[in-house]
Chain A
Amino acid sequence: MSKIKDKLKASINPLIAKADAPKAEANVPGQSKPEAQKSSATAGNMQAAAAKAAPTAVEPRVHEKKTAPAKPAKAATGLENKGAYSQGCSVWPD
């Protein structure tokens, strides 16, 4: 039960946060952002700046994208749009 309860609680947290956000803004007139948001934004900027400034010690891995072999093109049969399968027929013309 506690797992279900935890999951339910987690599911409503974004809703409660969303509802509280405008209230927090409204409570600080003349201030562009609530303090919590501002500090987290500042922390975020600092992290980004630090990431930019830090030398890249390790070369980033490059993942090669594997390409699937091309499928052979289907031969046009003339029955593609006629629901041949549903009519119990083969797609091959006689």
Chain B
Amino acid sequence: MDTRAMFTNLLAAEWMKISRRPMALLLLGIFLALTALQQTLWFLVVALQEGTFSSSNVTFTILSEAAIEQVKRQLSLPGVFGAMLSAINGTGGILAIILTAGFFGSDFNWGTLRVLLTRAPHRGIYLLAKLAALQLALLVAMVITIVVGTLLSLMFGSILGLSQQIDAIAFLLLPVGMLRALLVMLPYTLIAAASAIVGRSVIAGVGGGLIFLAFDVSAGSLNTIGAVDPLIRALVNLLLQPNINRLIVDNSQMFGLNQSVLTPALDLNLLPSSWQAIGLIVIYSAIFGYSAYRTLSRQDIGGAN
């Protein structure tokens, strides 16, 4: 059997496993609920500030005019695409780590890896197929989230009387945005996979992924001292978080949003260039992916634990 056939067979097997996994459906459900809640809150903020529910024009000033304008854009087409992609790279990233850890770690916990590798003994191809199935699942989850978000924005937008403008370019840019969002999640999913493999369990995967995320976000706050000196800024921008932020900002801007309006602490001028961001994320991903491969290819596979 050639390598391509092996990969295709394993991808089909891994897809069957992840697409029927209750944990995957549960995490998607949680994420959709959180996204719907977020959009409802945006809607309520705009409605209260503009007196939508009040017959006597009673209004509340919750946000500045510019911020309200931004929220309105997030509730309209095509801005909702950018808002959904941001949410995917925010809360969605944490859920993606949990999904990855569960997907990789449970094969160790249940002892099923041993059975699977007896049928398909090339561990590198197994790892590649599993990662491909995971990315495919994340892509499907992204499509569902964007559809749900768009439907909600159409509903809320019509109540608020917002104009919905959608053209072919926005639709063409959507796959670009989705791939960018997938790239943003890649290093986090890979570190979760590597941790699950090193620790041979789901808990090790969740732990490794979330600890790295927490460390990375904390280190990203060094961004503020980057303003002091260009050299410090260049060093800080070698961390993952500023590069992730750059791609999230790019995605938002692509759909007419300006992230710095709602997040004043985010200084767009201090962020690295888009090309640097893509390059660094690829390098981080390659390091984590190679660690996962190296560990898996050398380790002895035992039974359930």
Are A and B genuine complex partners? no
Q: Which residues in A have some Cβ–Cβ distance to B below 8 Å?
A: none
Q: Which residues in B have some Cβ–Cβ distance to A below 8 Å?
A: none
